[in-house]
Amino acid sequence: MRTVYLNGDYLPETEAKVSIFDRGFLMADGVYEVTSVLDGKLIDFAGHAVRLERSLSELDMRSPISMDDLLEVHRELVRLNEIEEGMVYLQITRGAPNDRDFAYPPAETEPTIVLFTQNKPGLANSPAALKGMKVISIPDARWGRRDIKTVQLLYPSMGKMMAKAAGCDDAWMVEDGAVTEGTSNNAYIVKGNTIITRQLSNDILHGITRAAVLRFAKEAQMKVEERAFTIAEAQEADEAFITSASTFVMPVVEIDGTALGDGTPGPVAARLREIYLEESRKTAV
Ligand code: PDD
């Protein structure tokens, strides 16, 4: 049984309980982070900690823990649960006042903090990376502050179900004719030596993996264009891929039924995946 962390305590997963009045439960009033683990170490923890602080501050929510202590909790859970490859999930909500109310509770209300691990042996050597993913496009029906990593994940869940019903692996969301991002990842296309991905704004999550991959791409003399692209442009591209903490770099081989190139993962995505895994293992903590 997993050991999880709840409000300062390490507990067996079946003993960790949160109030029915918790704002996360009633209002999706909470933020989260997912940090991957390779070789028993955390990938890009500093990036996730900085984004967490930003998400909290955008929502006027305070953190119940310092970022140094948060690193220690991550490490302790990885150790206690003997995670070699997998993820650590972290969630902070505005806490549990003693009733339901739209207004935020008094500032002294203790936020709720939960962390748990997910064991995923073989995450880095995933066979999916050799096969590639098929995606469909769907309208982006989320709210306007997608730069804040909130736990309001109903529409992304619906998107994954729509993809599944279509025999595909994920959905790319489209707004005003252009792709915003995948349901739980950032989206990219490749044309020749150029990698194209939507520019940062409130329309997408500022992926931690995205930042690292774009840095490595530039270091490897690839060209990076941060701009919006359409599904039609993506279907004409040489390659496509996604990035996230749980998939690293994952090739996309089909969009709305159209195969990209010869329908197999392309060399740029494969190379970036390799570089990303190699470089992030070096700086893991
Ligand atoms: N999802 N865009 C969205 C909408 C996401 O939910 C995520 C991450 C990303 C990629 O961000 P990062 O590279 O920092 O993981 C982009 C996580 C993995 C999840 O919800 O499980």
- Give residue-wise pLDDT tens across range 256-282: 999 998 999 999 999 999 999 999 999
- pLDDT for the residue numbered 43: 98
- Give residue-wise pLDDT tens across range 40-61: 999 999 999 999 999 999 999 9
pLDDT band (50, 70, 90) for residue 136:
very high
Report the alpha-carbon distance of residue 116 to residue 95 in Å, rounded. 18
The residue assigned the tokens 């439960």 is 25
Per-residue pLDDT, averaged over 30-39, amounts to 98
Report the separation in Å between the CA atom of 244 and the middle of ligand 1, taken as the mean of its atom positions: 5
Average pLDDT, the chain: 97
- Give residue-wise pLDDT tens across range 152-206: 999 999 999 999 999 999 999 999 999 999 999 999 999 999 999 999 999 999 9
Report the alpha-carbon distance of residue 95 to residue 19 in Å, rounded. 9
Q: Give the ligand 1 atom nearest the CA of 246.
A: 18
- Give, using CA atoms, the residue closest to atom 6 of ligand 1: 184
* Residues 6+ positions from 180 with CB-CB distance below 8 Å: 140, 146, 173, 174, 187, 198, 203, 204
- Give residue-wise pLDDT tens across range 72-89: 999 999 999 999 999 999
Report the separation in Å between the CA atom of 202 and the middle of ligand 1, taken as the mean of its atom positions: 14
- Give residue-wise pLDDT tens across range 208-257: 999 999 999 999 999 999 999 999 999 999 999 999 999 999 999 999 99
Report the separation in Å between the CA atom of 12 and the middle of ligand 1, taken as the mean of its atom positions: 27
- pLDDT for the residue numbered 221: 95
pLDDT band (50, 70, 90) for residue 3:
very high
Our answer to whether residue 149 is catalytic in this structure is yes
- pLDDT for the residue numbered 150: 98
Catalytic residue (one of 41, 149, 160, 218): 149
- Other Cβ atoms closer than 10 A to 71: 18
The residue assigned the tokens 């070096």 is 282
- Other Cβ atoms closer than 10 A to 123: 19
Q: Characterize 222-236 residue by residue with b for buried, 16 or more Cβ atoms within 10 angstroms of its Cβ, and e for exposed.
A: beeeeebbebeebbe
Report the alpha-carbon distance of residue 186 to residue 188 in Å, rounded. 7
Which protein residues touch ligand 1 with a CB less than 6 Å away? 34, 181, 184-186, 205, 207-210, 243-246
